[in-house]
A and B are shown apart, each in its own frame.
Chain A
Amino acid sequence: MAEVKLLGTWPSPFSYRVTWALKLKGIPYEYFEEDLSNKSPLLLQCNPVHKKIPVLIHGGKSICESIVILEYLEETWPQNPLMPDDPYERAIARFWVKFVEEKGVEVWIKLFSSGEEKEKAVKDSLEMLKTIEEQALGKKKFFCGDKISSVDIAYGWMARWLEVIEELAGVKLFEPQKFPRLHAWMKDFKDEPVIKGNLPGHDEMLVYFKHKL
């Protein structure tokens, strides 16, 4: 089997998405920690368009964009599937992945504004959480049913990075009693052995992101 390399950074939830998927599928790989202030020639060569991590390199070919990488992993290593079999269920899964891709980033960025813009960001974020709680997750344990899927992986940043964002932005968005299903999901997600063993430290992240702000 051709070798697999992952270029990532330890604080990045996008990088973790790929790590989680690789480990859940039992795919052996070599990890390279990138220094984003001093990007490696390999990164610049493999992702000339965005110059970002994560980048997956398989048999010398590179794949960029975390969600595109997840689909690639699913197609190349079908064992321990992370997507449903049925095309309609896959469409639903992809819809929810796209939802968090679009709305999630907005949350990140706009919460660090001020005044009216920040107030609106808080309102939008709460609406987003409500939609996820009621429509995306609903009564299921994980987003696609009983097992972890690519959708859970895409939402995984909420299980660890959301609290860091809240602390740094000085907002309280997520309250367990307001979002009981999401709260249960966060616990179940973090209890999965692969996830549990592969989460960045809360304190280290606070230091890292505070420095970046």
Chain B
Amino acid sequence: MDERKYNMAEEVKVFSTWASPFALRVIWALKLKGVEFDTVHEDLINKSPLLLQYNPIHKKVPVLVHDGKVICESLVILEYIDETWKQNPLLPEDPHQKANARFWAKFGDDKVMQSIGGGVLLKEGKEQEEGFAASMENLKYLEEEIRGKKFFGGETIGLADIALGWLAHYLDIVEEIVGLKLIDQEKFPSLAAWKQEFANAPIIRENWPDRDKLVTKYVVVREANLGKGTPK
């Protein structure tokens, strides 16, 4: 049954894949705001013509289509969602606090994800040691930022939480695969507490992708990357 009210009919579509932590951000944001939407499930090995038409430059998920308007790049989409649907704001009113949220979201993508994904999951030996050390540095900064707060956004989930949220599920998988502990409860007590809080928050906890499937997927990704570096 179509639950949309016809006088307020708006069409919201999210192009995503089951595993994408970036698409997950968009799904969280829309659900946190109670926005109805349809999901278009993509297979990245066999991308739909529509995805290629909507995101010709990057050919990636997520893509948000709102009443025919196409927006790409997860953090750009989050800002659009927050400006378009004002309930349960993801960003605070105060410009300095807003800047802070954007800073940490950017830090997460530029530094944290790079060091943990590229530096630890996809490497071994000395290179992995370096990646691990860099990850520890980056996590230290996050620990200092979250200390004394329930979420990076304060009392409620905000933009930075959503941007860093992958740590609350995907990191366990990385740790399991490589056999290293990154967010150690003793080293990073506040960050570990945030991980728990975020992973179990309403909406967030209902949308995690299947853990075992992710392990399988990332083992393959890791082997493929290590295989590339093997001299023939």
- B92-115 at interface with A (beta carbon < 8 Å): 95-96, 98-99, 102-103, 106-107
Decide: A95 and B103 in contact? CB cutoff 8 A.
no
Q: Which of B57, B71, B102 is in CB contact (< 8 Å) with A135?
A: B57
Stretch at the interface among B18-26, B79-87, B176-184, B210-218: B79-87
| Given A91-B77, A94-B76, residue A63 in contact with residue B99 (CB < 8 A) | yes
Q: Check A75 for interface membership: any CB of B closer than 8 A.
A: yes
**Number of residue pairs across A and B with beta carbons under 8 Å?**
58
Residue of A whose beta carbon sits closest to that of B105: A68
Residue-wise interface mask of A (101-117) relative to B, using a CB-CB cutoff of 8 A (1 in contact, 0 not)? 00000000000000000
Decide: B106 and A75 in contact? CB cutoff 8 A.
no
Please indicate the chain A residues that have their CB under 8 angstroms from the CB of B73 in the complex: 94-95, 98
Decide: B98 and A94 in contact? CB cutoff 8 A.
no
Nearest chain A CB to B176 CB, angstrom units? 29
Q: Check A87 for interface membership: any CB of B closer than 8 A.
A: yes
Q: Check B72 for interface membership: any CB of A closer than 8 A.
A: yes
Please indicate the chain B residues that have their CB under 8 angstroms from the CB of A65 in the complex: 102-103, 106
Decide: A75 and B69 in contact? CB cutoff 8 A.
no
Please indicate the chain A residues that have their CB under 8 angstroms from the CB of B96 in the complex: 58, 61, 63, 72
Q: Check A38 for interface membership: any CB of B closer than 8 A.
A: no
| Given A87-B84, A91-B76, A91-B79, residue A69 in contact with residue B71 (CB < 8 A) | no
Q: Check B120 for interface membership: any CB of A closer than 8 A.
A: no
Q: Which of A69, A76, A90 is in CB contact (< 8 Å) with B83?
A: A90
Q: How many Å lie between the Cα of A69 and that of B102 in the bound state?
A: 10
Please indicate the chain A residues that have their CB under 8 angstroms from the CB of B76 in the complex: 91, 94-95, 98
Decide: B99 and A68 in contact? CB cutoff 8 A.
yes
Q: Which of A75, A91, A131 is in CB contact (< 8 Å) with B80?
A: A91
Q: Check A64 for interface membership: any CB of B closer than 8 A.
A: yes
Q: Which of A69, A87, A131 is in CB contact (< 8 Å) with B99?
A: A69
Q: List residues of A whose CB falls within 8 A of some B CB.
A: 49, 58, 61, 63-65, 67-69, 71-72, 75-76, 87-88, 90-92, 94-95, 98-99, 131, 135
